[in-house]
Copies of this chain bind each other. A is one copy, B any other.
Amino acid sequence: MSNTYGSIFRITTFGESHGTAVGVIVDGCPAGLPITIEEIQAALDRRRPGQSKITTPRDEKDQVQILSGIFNGQTQGTPIALAVFNKDQASHDYTHIEKAYRPSHADYTYTAKYGSRDHRGGGRSSARETLARVAAGVLAQKFLALQGIQITSYVSQVGSIYAPADYTQLDLSQVDNTIVRCPHPETAQAMIQLIEETRDKLDTVGGVVSCVIKGVPAGLGEPVFDKLHAELGKAMLSINAVKGFEYGSGFEGVSMYGSQHNDVFYTDEDGQVKTRTNHSGGIQGGISNGQDIYFKVAFKPVATILQPQSSIDQSGQEITLQGKGRHDPCVLPRAVPIVDAMAALVLADFVLRQRANKVD
């Protein structure tokens, strides 16, 4: 198990889907950061089940508690423990999957790895763990705001429906204006319709979250291994259901020529170093160059579908599984705050690491 992420600004999460609590210890958050429980709760509310008609109808409040590290409304430099106690975890019936290996879930792999598993609601492999990341991410986002760094994630694709590729043509302040969290209104409507149709067919669908980070100073990232985009990639790939990551020109950039792809430097009227294009996605040699950082994260369709599926149980016998309960037909809208949080954790860590790179 590796439940810790980050080098200086570091989180360690705990909790199973239907255990007593899910939570996080944030260690290394600088002292003196003002924070309220309401700010943390607001971020959790963006992630919580039951927030709209296109998410799972499970209406979980996910009330966060602060167990340590915050005193007089400020961080103290000491570890900050946050927890959400699960409600009614005993009331669910998961005996039907106790010995089953659900297709494209982690039932089989956890059992292979550990010899046993907590089968209730996916146990530790449940995306419920990500609420801990979202809670911790609020601290990182508040710290970054003090540095002038803003992170905006949004749903850019659901199934085959996608928003205009160029984020500079979108109004990123509008992300939360639609329940699908796509800032392009027409695309958002089509996405919502697709998700509803998919849900009505008892099926699920995937999509893409795009993220734009503005205000990053040149110099963040720690080559040769902890390149800025390499850590962003790892952080994103560690989110449940993620299958791919690309930044800047990404996979499309491979079919360009160098003469097209290179970003030409110039000095603007304020004496700032800029590039005329930004195929680099704001990162060169693994270090931010001061331009906008942007990247995409691919999410597969949710594995739990309400249709009968063939599978096997622990003894290897073939079985038929019938999904039941209330599940998301598409995780994308709820994934947006998770991408925000993980991006913030990565950036906050690099801001702090950069402080050690020069003699004074």
Contact = CB atoms under 8 A, between A and B. Distances in A.
Contact of A20 (B66, B118, B229, B296): B66
A117 B76 contact: yes
Interface stretch (A55-63, A180-188, A251-259): A251-259
Interface in A275-317: 275, 279-281, 283-290, 296, 298-305, 307, 309-312, 316-317
Given A68-B20, A311-B265, A109 B219 contact: yes
A22 B271 CA distance: 37
Contacts of A110: 77, 285, 287
A118 B205 CA distance: 48
A30 interface: yes
Contacts of A262: 103-104, 303, 305, 309
Given A238-B286, A355-B356, A312 B160 contact: no
B1 A28 contact: yes
Classify the secondary structure of A's interface with B. Answer: mixed
A259 B159 CA distance: 13
Interface string A69-86: 101101011111101000
A253 B243 contact: yes
Interface string A94-120: 000000010111101110111111100
A208 interface: yes
A23 B206 contact: no
A31 interface: yes
B254 A298 contact: yes
Contacts of A9: 356
A256 B300 contact: yes
Interface in A6-27: 7-10, 12-16, 19-23, 25, 27
B258 A233 contact: no
A113 B219 contact: yes
Given A72-B116, A219-B112, A237 B230 contact: yes
Nearest to A232: B237
